[in-house]
Structure 1
């Protein structure tokens, strides 16, 4: 039979079905809407997210269902357990015989709660040096150049620029010395500079992988799940973590962006190592040695790592923030570039204000993400009305993420106060119990606040109506920012 015969038969079949196409399309749309609604109802813990996806699949037939299957279904947890054998939740690194206990009584409950969330001990005997971005960059270069056994680095953005190229040179030199180097860059963050630094690392012989990277259409469901962690571990005994990406903007004079990072020594470095090893085995299947090699006592800081993400670590960061806010008795200070928290965090801050806790929040006056900044101002309008102190810091853009409670507890790392960091990103933060360290950070914040502009309730009342509407409409996008 020739092609003409089949075309004829095909055309006849379509002609027979033509009157029924509207009914077939309606049946498919109805089936998809019902199926997705059932899936959303059973798998989404956030009622607002569930309502948003349900509305989308019914109001935008077929297209809404396709978007849900691409972006709304979390497939990470299942795959992570397949690759790690379920060990992602266990403490397979260095552990002390007796877990440290905070000296401040009202923070001991917080420590127990975070310990149960993370399945990790609060480690004693750590030393933390707080560094700005240029200091961190130089300290990381020095550490790589002095490495003798291993260098493990994970970052969201690794620029192919004046900041990234010298680090590539140092990593390549370490490989030639026989150092075990592993570099993990987020699949989206790798393209913040073009051409990507990934290829420069490959050409120089540095083992590098991209986290959740693929151009294949069937990999699109992972496009919204990013690795936002910034961790480096050298010789399994020295660590770096905080909010700093590897970008030239930090090194310009004057700087375009500022940040806060920590250089770590002590047992908590083993928890950074564990987090990196879990990400690495997830990405490429290679199992790394996760035993801590440094001394048990270096300083006086009690610290614990908090890995959070849309996998086995889901909700750990948000619950930690809620517990920290609830434990405050005197003062809460928050510095973040993006402040668009969910209703539970907003309510907990309001409760803290009502019980007499001083709440101070510092965000940049000019953000690099305008819609997030507008949404932040809408959310903060209500907190300022309740009594929170809001400060807008002047340029350069401050990318730091830090929180202190009662001059005893400190949290810093990669996580922001927005839906992306709280639900979608893989983040790493460090909680520290230390009067000395927290006081040092509070003094830094005092200087920061002196340079900032305070927003009073009347500033929001006097704001142009079109600006208030713009802010409110931007805040409607809170679940997606």
Structure 2
């Protein structure tokens, strides 16, 4: 036996380069074939095959960790999502003809939404716009304090800072009143705080979980590429909050020396709240395998305060609804007749959406795009700058907002249709993250959002081709090289 071990060691010593080469070829070929056969986006396929070939051993390992979409293979859970949406009893029937309410061009957009969303477009919703943390967080805390039966809270980032502790205290008081509470935080977002918020929640006896902590089954690490970016709060099944705002003290004036970061959130009542809850229930079951009983968590449908507006949730993510938001934006840009207003902190649309925006501008539609003057992600800002010339040449107008960083994700079409929620216009939101957005057919809501965007434009700096060309060659080269990596930012 000892002689065999000595002989084996001798063979490994003499032939390890050959064995390493054979292993790298087998792993690399297997990974490259898998990428070529399963990736629907040719850019993603080429990128991954290139990484695998250029890094014979490291490349396949990176592809195993970040390149394989295991979520889409969870067919049983994805089918159960449809059940969640069907278990809701609504007071208001689906909208039969949106054209009669906001104009004929929007009929095709309603049909598109019917085909890419699990949810039906329903009237009877009340939408309240909340500007900044100073309006949003007190409204959310008030709803938690008034909760009687259930609270569902989901956030990408839930910091354990002073604001986070306020929310934990409010949730703890609700828990002591007998309210059933579930809190879902993304595993990557939880790492923004050195002391994860889940420790504080568990200490108070509040049921909580981290989304996508262990997708590989044997590696105890977050799956960094697939994140839950949804921001939801549903109280008693009757009041919902959603939009772009995480739970962070930097968005409140009292914690930011009077200079908070900006964002926009929305308070909803009506059928859309049940759709928010259906999304949460699916994500909670996906994470914990606990099915929240619709008989208890779904409130009986009650009329929302007027004015009533048609709305529906659009859930998207790296599952069979991967391209839902992408399709909705394409459709919205195609039916625009007068004006497209966009505000996004991270504006990195792919060539399809760029083409749709540029075509709208060439048709005579006024396209205004507002991005931050000061961005919290430097690399994303460099990549954005490298791509702005593509929309400027087509006649779109681009504005860099002054003042504090604005994290708002807002869009309106022709003053009648609004798209709000968690999605950014970047590759991560459009292909990798789990997102939740809401389309709203209301001229009043659109006017409020337009006013917010127009206020930014009034104080913003216009970006021009001349200003872009005046940037030094070294910085333009840097921006372009980082832009090449934008799918991974």
TM range (shorter): over 0.9
Question: With structure 2 as the length reference, what TM-score do the two structures score?
Answer: 0.93
**What is the aligned partner in structure 1 of residue 4 from structure 2?**
9
1:33 counterpart (28, 34, 45): 28
**What is the aligned partner in structure 1 of residue 120 from structure 2?**
121
**What is the aligned partner in structure 2 of residue 198 from structure 1?**
198
Q: Secondary structure in 2 aligned to 1:398?
A: coil
Whether the 8 Å contact between 1:235 and 1:293 is mirrored in structure 2 is no
Query: Cα distance 1:342–1:98, how it changes in 2: closer, same or farther (>3 A)?
Result: closer
Q: Secondary structure in 1 aligned to 2:449?
A: helix
1:146-195 alpha-carbon deviations (Å, 9 max, x no partner)? 00011100001111112111111110110111111111111111121121
Aligned residue-pair number: 474
Looking at structure 2, the residues matched to 221 and 37 of structure 1 have their Cα atoms a distance apart, in angstroms, of 23
Looking at structure 1, the residues matched to 213 and 110 of structure 2 have their Cα atoms a distance apart, in angstroms, of 36
Map 1:216-365; keep pairs closer than 5 Å.
218-220=219-221, 222-251=223-252, 252-290=256-294, 291-298=298-305, 299-365=307-373
Question: With structure 1 as the length reference, what TM-score do the two structures score?
Answer: 0.95
**What is the aligned partner in structure 1 of residue 148 from structure 2?**
148
Whether the 8 Å contact between 1:88 and 1:312 is mirrored in structure 2 is no
Looking at structure 2, the residues matched to 212 and 17 of structure 1 have their Cα atoms a distance apart, in angstroms, of 39
Whether the 8 Å contact between 1:332 and 1:358 is mirrored in structure 2 is yes
Q: Secondary structure in 2 aligned to 1:314?
A: coil
Quote how far apart the aligned CAs of 1:384 are.
1.1
**What is the aligned partner in structure 2 of residue 167 from structure 1?**
167
Map 1:392-407; keep pairs closer than 5 Å.
392-407=400-415
Q: Secondary structure in 1 aligned to 2:371?
A: strand
1:222-269 alpha-carbon deviations (Å, 9 max, x no partner)? 232111100000000100000011101011242331100000011111
Looking at structure 2, the residues matched to 161 and 322 of structure 1 have their Cα atoms a distance apart, in angstroms, of 39
Whether the 8 Å contact between 2:261 and 2:406 is mirrored in structure 1 is yes
Quote how far apart the aligned CAs of 1:55 are.
1.0
Quote how far apart the aligned CAs of 1:468 are.
1.1
1:67 counterpart (54, 62, 70): 62
Q: Which runs of 4+ in 1 moved over 6 A?
A: none
Query: Cα distance 1:406–1:85, how it changes in 2: closer, same or farther (>3 A)?
Result: closer
Looking at structure 2, the residues matched to 366 and 312 of structure 1 have their Cα atoms a distance apart, in angstroms, of 35
Q: Which runs of 5+ in 1 are unaligned?
A: none
Looking at structure 1, the residues matched to 309 and 25 of structure 2 have their Cα atoms a distance apart, in angstroms, of 58
Looking at structure 2, the residues matched to 212 and 98 of structure 1 have their Cα atoms a distance apart, in angstroms, of 34
Looking at structure 2, the residues matched to 296 and 137 of structure 1 have their Cα atoms a distance apart, in angstroms, of 25
Looking at structure 1, the residues matched to 176 and 45 of structure 2 have their Cα atoms a distance apart, in angstroms, of 52
**What is the aligned partner in structure 2 of residue 369 from structure 1?**
377
Is residue 452 from structure 1 mapped to residue 460 from structure 2 by the alignment?
yes
Q: Which runs of 5+ in 2 are unaligned?
A: none
Whether the 8 Å contact between 2:423 and 2:435 is mirrored in structure 1 is yes
Compare 275-284 and 34-43 and name the one that shifted more: 34-43
Whether the 8 Å contact between 1:101 and 1:122 is mirrored in structure 2 is no
Is residue 89 from structure 1 mapped to residue 90 from structure 2 by the alignment?
no
Map 1:173-212; keep pairs closer than 5 Å.
173-212=173-212
Looking at structure 2, the residues matched to 292 and 255 of structure 1 have their Cα atoms a distance apart, in angstroms, of 39
**What is the aligned partner in structure 2 of residue 463 from structure 1?**
471
Looking at structure 2, the residues matched to 236 and 458 of structure 1 have their Cα atoms a distance apart, in angstroms, of 52
Looking at structure 1, the residues matched to 46 and 423 of structure 2 have their Cα atoms a distance apart, in angstroms, of 26
Compare 288-297 and 248-257 and name the one that shifted more: 288-297
1:47-101 alpha-carbon deviations (Å, 9 max, x no partner)? 011001111111110211111111100111223x34x372213422234434343
Whether the 8 Å contact between 2:118 and 2:314 is mirrored in structure 1 is no
Quote how far apart the aligned CAs of 1:20 are.
3.6
Looking at structure 1, the residues matched to 394 and 79 of structure 2 have their Cα atoms a distance apart, in angstroms, of 44
Quote how far apart the aligned CAs of 1:16 are.
3.4
Q: Secondary structure in 1 aligned to 2:229?
A: coil
Quote how far apart the aligned CAs of 1:24 are.
2.6
